[in-house]
Amino acid sequence: MTTDNTMTIAGEAINGRLWLGTSLYPSPEIMRDSLIAAQPGFVTLSLRRQTAQQVADNGHWQYVQTFVEQSGCKILPNTAGCHSADEALLLANMARELFKTDWIKLEVIGDDYTLQPHPTELLKAADTLVQQGFKVLPYCTDDLVLCKELLAAGCPAVMPWGAPIGTGKGLLNRHQLMTLRERLANDVLIIDAGLGKPSQAMDALELGFDAVLLNTAVAKAHDPVLMAKAFSDAVNAGRMAYRAGMMQERQVASASTPTLGMPFWHQS
């Protein structure tokens, strides 16, 4: 089966349109097996509330490192849990030192109840990190103006939410997401957060989004390994459907069987 699984961001090939987080799994072994099943383009890791040495000594990290080395996917450290630009800058530079990568998923939370990103602190941090040579992938809302500003600051892609983190509600604001895809037609857009079902990931790819990032939907499934494979298949199917070009919806029925030459045919 032919797939279109490779994408380019900041001049680098990313070999997978499904990206996975590495927290909340029942065990490091199940996390490893889930990553193998999904073959993600990126795997995310957080340093929040841990020192660099603690992360380096963590068996969880060793499994991730082994998978990355064997699969060729990329590490995407994140700044989860930060509430200010200054916090995010400190964590991003720690991550670059530890993981030897300029890639960073930028999170700056503005509300602890919804985990909604803080727009001004996010933009402030993104601007500084880009100047420091990071490849910044910011987690943001689906606000068109904010996305445009982040791209103008030098972010090679933006990552609007589908729904609040961990809710599993899918694409809550399809109209706004479709607007983003239409207005930012030549930019890389990744749905980050809120996906709970493979069908929701497929929906995002069918709308033309370039990739999806998720964690809880796989890690908290009854069978995370099987769910990881299900999401992988759904993302591939959604991308193929988008490339194939889907039929337009109609308000009235349209027969799929031609009527020309049929006996007793008449128009009422």
Tokens of residue 114, six digits: 């919804």
Residue 194 among known ligand-binding residues: yes
Residue 58 among known ligand-binding residues: no
Q: Give the residues across from 77 on adjacent strands.
A: 45
Q: Are 143 and 180 spatial neighbours (Cβ–Cβ below 8 Å)? A: no
How far is residue 205's CA from residue 234's CA, in Å, rounded to a whole number?
9
Q: What is the 3-state secondary structure (H, E, C) of 66-92?
A: HHHHHHCCEEEEECCCCCCHHHHHHHH
For residue 195, CA distances in Å to 204, 219, 239, 252 come to 10, 12, 16, 32
Q: Active-site residue among 74, 100, 105, 197?
A: 105
In the residue annotation, 105 being an active-site residue is answered as: yes
Residue 186 among known ligand-binding residues: no
Residue 166 among known ligand-binding residues: yes
Q: Are 173 and 147 spatial neighbours (Cβ–Cβ below 8 Å)? A: no
For residue 83, CA distances in Å to 88, 160, 170, 233, 250 come to 8, 18, 25, 35, 47
Catalytic residues: 105
Tell me the binding residues for 1-deoxy-D-xylulose 5-phosphate: 166, 193-194, 215-216
